[in-house]
Amino acid sequence: MRLAVWEWRKLFRLPALWVFVGLCLALNGLLLSPPSAMDRSFFNDTSADAAALGQRVDEEFLTGLEALPDTENRTILRQYVTGLENTLEGYDTQELTNFYQSLMAGDSLAQRWMAWKYDLLQERVDHLAQTGAALDLYAGPITHDSHQYLYNTLFRVLLTESVLLGLLCALYLVGYEGLSGTQSLTCSSRTGRGLWRSKTLAALAAALGLYALLALLTLGPYLLLWDYGGIWDSSVSSQFNYFVDMLYSRPFLTWTDFTVGSYFAAMIAAGGGLVAIFTLMGAVAGLLIRHTYGAAIAAAAFCALLLGLSSALANLGMWSAYLLTTFSPVCLWLAINGWFTELGQSGLVPWQETVGLALNLLIWAGLVLLALRRFGRKDVA
């Protein structure tokens, strides 16, 4: 523990770290003040109505809504909720199967995988239809835009910043002795070489701590501006919410029953997993490449290679191979706005993001152990 504290002192005394954190918070502050005050007002009014009347759009809700004083927002809300039906009742995922099989024509294995996935999804659709999840209000007609603003814009930027901080923490701590010219002296003993294990763990803890700090200072003010008080218990599979992939719109179908609150918590937890993966990736690069800046370039090149490979395989119509690349950390990051859903062409199995994060954590943790073992034996003179 004492070694980790010394490593944190080295890291947190780095001015560039706090300059970067400050720039991240400034950017997030700009994102929190978009020209959408009208949208926020509508969202907050809808949340207040949901808190007063209940999240489920039923006869009692409609009666209560009619009894509330007329406002422009409530007039719009009445127009949307009057005559709503359980849109998931009778919904057939065969439409999605047909769409993706047509997209992946020529690759029979990929087509079978898609058929298998959407057969499993049909069971979820039937369950959601029985529970009436589609009748939950969420945020009414502004649901999709507000959901995408939070997860596809604000949370994506927050996670990107945290991933970069994780890479910075790992590369700086692993390469610190080389930058300061003390690596040969430190590695002259077995105990000294063992310091790099503490460096890796310290970098991982620091990255997750900075992620938590950014999340608190970004999502905290967001929740003050956007009032979720009345809709935390609403289903994210409300008929007002939907997911778009390849310009094909479909209901927001999750692999378990998520409320707005539980989905929010699950996204933050999964984001921490992605930050940990990239931090471990930075540690591997730093351990294998003695030059810190070279390690940073190598990590960036590796991520670009993963992204380029995935895109190239899709363009070549090699869909089976492409679907395997969707488990890569970069592809998981790209699919963040659909996490815990079927993910369209970016998902091969149910719970793709969860399976992908678990696999990557195991793989990169194993690579870190191998890199530490190699570092402990090589000549660093």
pLDDT of residue 77: 87
* pLDDT at site 79: 84
Closest CA to 295 of 179, 127, 161: 179
User: Is the model's pTM score more than 0.75?
Assistant: yes
Instruction: Provide the angle, in degrees to the nearest 10, between the axes of the packed helices 94-103 and 108-131.
Output: 160
According to the model, what pLDDT value does residue 188 have?
Answer: 53
- How high is the pLDDT of residue 186? 57
Query: Residue 257: what are its φ and ψ, rounded to 5°?
Result: -80, 105
Over the stretch 46-67, which tens digit does the pLDDT of each residue have? 999 899 888 888 888 888 888 8
- Rounded CA separation 45/39 (Å): 10
Q: What is the largest CA-CA distance in the chain?
A: 80
> Quick one: tokens of 44?
């907050």
Q: Taking a C-beta distance cutoff of 8 angstroms, is the pair 160, 214 a contact?
A: no
What's the Cα-to-Cα distance from 299 to each of 21, 69, 167, 258, rounded to whole Å?
21, 58, 9, 35
Please state, in angstroms and rounded to a whole number, the distance separating the CA atoms of residues 291 and 298. 10
Contacts 24+ apart (CB under 8 A), 117-123: 117/342, 117/347, 117/348, 117/349, 117/350, 118/93, 118/94, 118/342, 119/93, 120/350, 121/93, 121/96, 121/253, 121/342, 121/350, 122/92, 122/93, 122/94
Residues of the chain with pLDDT under 50: none
Give the pLDDT confidence score for residue 63 in this predicted structure.
85
**Cβ count within 10 A of residue 248:** 14
Within 10 Å of residue 288's Cβ, how many Cβ atoms?
A: 16
